[in-house]
A and B are shown apart, each in its own frame.
Chain A
Amino acid sequence: MTSRLVQIRRSGAGLPAPGPSSDPTADAGYESELDRGVDFSAVFADAMGRNPDLVLEIPEWETPPADLEERVWRALYEVPDPEFPISLVDLGLVYGVEVKEPDGAAEASVTVSLTLTATACPCVEFIKWDVRDRVLAEPGVAEVDVRITWDPPWTTERITERGRNALRRAGVSI
């Protein structure tokens, strides 16, 4: 299996959308010299562990996907963990993909079962947004339900070989 390195792109979904201000005194504000040219979305992303400069190793598939379920699995290899440059699949967080294609419906609903490394994972919402966004981008998917499961508990044993290499590259010992 060959693979390629791609720039991680964060969707930013779920971040507060800029809305119209109701403040009649609002003005251009003050931009410090130090801040000039800083991409605050990137700073914010980084501060939340969503470093936009990391690369992700994605498998290059030799055969086309057999069905939508396989397509969804492959898509999930492109969803990075919010803290480390490793896909959710390689980290071993994805427990299941279920595709329901109701009779007569043109599009399917997909349920992705995920676990998290810790019960108090502070990134749970980011992960859910990222999964939902990526799977919804697949043609033929109408809705995505992300479920969190704790059984069986995640352990480092679940990290794939590719995932281990990615973590080593990022200086994480496992």
Chain B
Amino acid sequence: MSQKGTAGYRTAVDVPEELHADLASLLLSLADNKRLLGMRYAEWLLGAPTLEAGIACSAMAQDEWGHSRILYAMLKDFGKDPAHLEHEREADEYLNSELLDEPPAEWTGLVALNFLLDAALSVQIESLKDSRFEPLHYKVRKVLEEERFHFEHGRGWLARVAQTDAGRAALEEALEPAWISCLRWFGGGSGLVVRLAEAGIADAGPDELRARWLDRVAPAVAEAGLELAGVTDGSWAVPELDWTGWDPARRRSGEGGLNDETLAAVRGDKNRTMLMD
């Protein structure tokens, strides 16, 4: 079950004290990103380029919310109240990628989230398949299975939009910031992802995860003829990254945060009366 024959951690109580904050932060980061990504998908239920794409967005939104619900619930063991996490935090307490701060203005922006960010989350989650933290180990297979079609959906739309010069130009514009953001999202050389990998919570550190992500998304990018950092002439390598403004604790740019509309929507401010038990 656990890595390299080492003992597994059955609950948060079994996890060594010095790993608690890092592991809780990883769970919250995944939960927040999935919750917000699900919201972004849902925003395209009406207005996606095709009816089928809108329906796919509905299904993907449902999946992401299912995954985030599982992840928020796991944080209970770490002394956090899931209801508080879901409904009562301020923007600067969310550990989301900056790509989710505001809704994408165009479908190509949603394709960037679908194909690049969702894949980055899945690469990180895949690294937890044999986690020593057993609650993760037992949950991620189902999550990854549901993610398979998200990836295919993103890849399909990438290829489709890239068929014209105008489409390629629009895609490059949308993908460029997401590309760099996702590469940075796995973190630098001294962040919590490094420590969790060393402790056997994850099976790889940031550099390896970045390479895995690139191997997953770059083939379709190269095939579509898109020019993005590190992808040239059908081959790819992790480009030099600029870490200016990087906040390792929140795994994002230190600048900005969820905009007001996003915060109100993700917390469910309009439905607050329903929350009273």
Residue numbers of A with Cβ under 8 A of B are 115, 118-121, 149-154
Contacts and interface: CB of A to CB of B under 8 A. Distances in A.
Contact of B139 (A120, A121, A150, A154): A150
Given A118-B62, A118-B63, A119-B63, A151 B69 contact: no
B138 A151 contact: yes
A119 B141 contact: no
Contacts of A120: 62-63, 65-67, 69
Contacts of A115: 142
Interface string B143-157: 101100000000000
7 contacts: A118-B63, A119-B146, A150-B143, A151-B137, A151-B138, A151-B141, A153-B145
B141 A121 contact: no
B70 interface: yes
Interface residues of B, number: 15
Given A118-B146, A119-B146, A120-B62, A153 B67 contact: no
Contacts, number: 37
Interface string B174-200: 000000000000000000000000000
Nearest to A148: B70
Interface of A is mostly: loop
B139 A151 contact: yes
A151 B143 CA distance: 10
Nearest to A152: B141
B62 A153 contact: no
B233 to A, nearest CB: 39
Interface string B39-81: 0000000000000000000000011011101100000000000
Contacts of A153: 141-142, 145
Contacts of B65: 120
Interface of B is mostly: helix
Contacts of B145: 153
A130 B146 CA distance: 26
Contact of B143 (A119, A121, A154): A119
A151 B66 contact: no
A120 B58 CA distance: 12
A121 B138 contact: no
A150 B135 CA distance: 10
Contact of B66 (A119, A149, A152, A154): A119
Given A118-B62, A119-B63, A119-B146, A149 B69 contact: no
The listed residue with most B CB atoms (<10 A of its CB), out of A149, A151, A152, A154, is A151
A153 B139 CA distance: 9
Contacts of B137: 151
Given A118-B62, A119-B66, A120-B66, 5 more contacts: A118-B66, A119-B63, A119-B70, A120-B63, A151-B142
A118 B65 CA distance: 11
Nearest to B65: A120
B10 to A, nearest CB: 14
The listed residue with most B CB atoms (<10 A of its CB), out of A119, A121, A150, A151, is A119
Nearest to A150: B142
B138 A119 contact: no
A119 B65 CA distance: 8
B67 A150 contact: no
A165 to B, nearest CB: 26
Contacts of B70: 119, 150
Contacts of B143: 119, 150
A154 B65 CA distance: 18
A115 B138 CA distance: 12
The listed residue with most B CB atoms (<10 A of its CB), out of A115, A120, A121, A152, is A120
Interface in B110-152: 137-139, 141-143, 145-146
